[in-house]
Amino acid sequence: MRIFICGFGTVGQGFAEVVADKTSYFKKRYGRDAIIVGAMDSKSYVVDQNGLDPIGLVATKKDSKRVGANTYTDSTAVLDMVDYDILVEVSPTDVNTGGVGLINIKHALSKGKDVITVNKGPLALKFRELMDLAKTNGCLLRFEGSVGGAMPIINLCTESLAGGEIKSVRGILNGTCNFILSKMDNGQPFEQALKEAQQMGYAETDPTNDIEGYDTACKVVILANSVFGRDVSFKDVDITGITSITEDAISMAASRNMVIRLIGEVSATKLEVSPRLVPKGHPLGISGTLNTAQILSDIAGPITVSGRGAGRLETASAILSDLIAVMDKRLL
Ligand code: HSE
């Protein structure tokens, strides 16, 4: 399997490391390797039909801040320079236009390539169009890591719980907001907590997307479309972020043995992101950067999952599971 990686930031590099680490796993399971034939960041690219050294790519990026020596103006022209089977699209999220990620995903699908992405912009804006494009061209479009990072949620609902009807999903889907609110529980001011979240590499390139609830809204849309079969986009979500949560509100909640958490909720009729009062000790009252979700299925009943919602290897683990699903389908 030949992979092209678009976006070589934290997640792209983590995924390259995972590909290197899983060489013997791929050989054992499929009798062949998964190779990276192209990598692109916002400024540069490198391609080699015979395969690139994943660890070398990470080292080049670290040393020169670029993944390759070549520059480009048209990312789709770069994609066309090599033969690849799977596009791993992990460029930064643009919730307004879908950005270069949307262009790349459409281009790859229209050429019959399978796509794995964690890029929330294209999925939150053009979900149905992309799924239709994949279907028309006989391709797979998978996106487990786009919601909850390492926490299994999309494939859990659509595959592991297949056959049942998912009634609702409610959860903490943004680690930055949860980190800030948890710090505020301990008396830390909002701005200081946000700065810490940024230093940890959790916040989006533009943290407005986190604190205004836009990142959670994208995830809610992805769940609504993929798990509930709805046809909604970002503009359909009722969104309230955490910027107006005052220290007084946090203290008042604490005096009632509650915490305030930013909750995303989706069902057949609901599409909402809002700060809510949650009793201390409740599964949705967790602290720190973890994500958590409560799934209610008609047959399976309630299921709660939690895990790391972001991170270099954590997000790469979700991409790996999608890669294996694609390879199983194509190679077995
Ligand atoms: N900014 C996001 C978060 C990263 O804080 O959870 C993962 O989507």
- Amino acid present at 176: T
Predicted pLDDT of residue 202: 83
Give all strands of the β-sheet with 2-6 in edge-to-edge order.
Answer: 70-71, 44-52, 35-40, 2-6, 86-89, 114-117, 141-142
210 lines ligand 1 (CB under 6 A): yes
Predicted pLDDT of residue 331: 87
Predicted pLDDT of residue 174: 97
Residue 323 CA to ligand 1 center (angstroms) comes to 21
Helix, strand, coil percentages, rounded to 5, for the chain:
45, 25, 30
**pTM for the structure as a whole:** 0.96
Tens of pLDDT, residue by residue over 163-183, are 999 999 999 999 999 999 999
| Domains located in the chain, CATH noted | 2-147+312-331 (3.40.50.720), 156-308 (3.30.360.10)
The question of whether 126 is a catalytic residue gets the answer no
Mark the ranges of the chain whose per-residue pLDDT is less than 70.
none
174 lines ligand 1 (CB under 6 A): yes
Predicted pLDDT of residue 287: 94
In angstroms, the CA 322 to CA 234 distance is 24
Give the DSSP per-residue string, 168-224. Answer: EEEEE--HHHHHHHHHHHTT--HHHHHHHHHHTT-S-SSTHHHHTSHHHHHHHHHHH
**Cα–Cα distances in Å, from 111 out to 49, 86, 108, 122, 135?**
17, 11, 5, 18, 12
Tens of pLDDT, residue by residue over 238-257, are 999 999 999 999 999 999 99
Residue 310 CA to ligand 1 center (angstroms) comes to 6
Q: From 210, 212, 273, give the residue whose CB has the most ligand 1 atoms within 8 Å, as the site to mutate.
A: 210
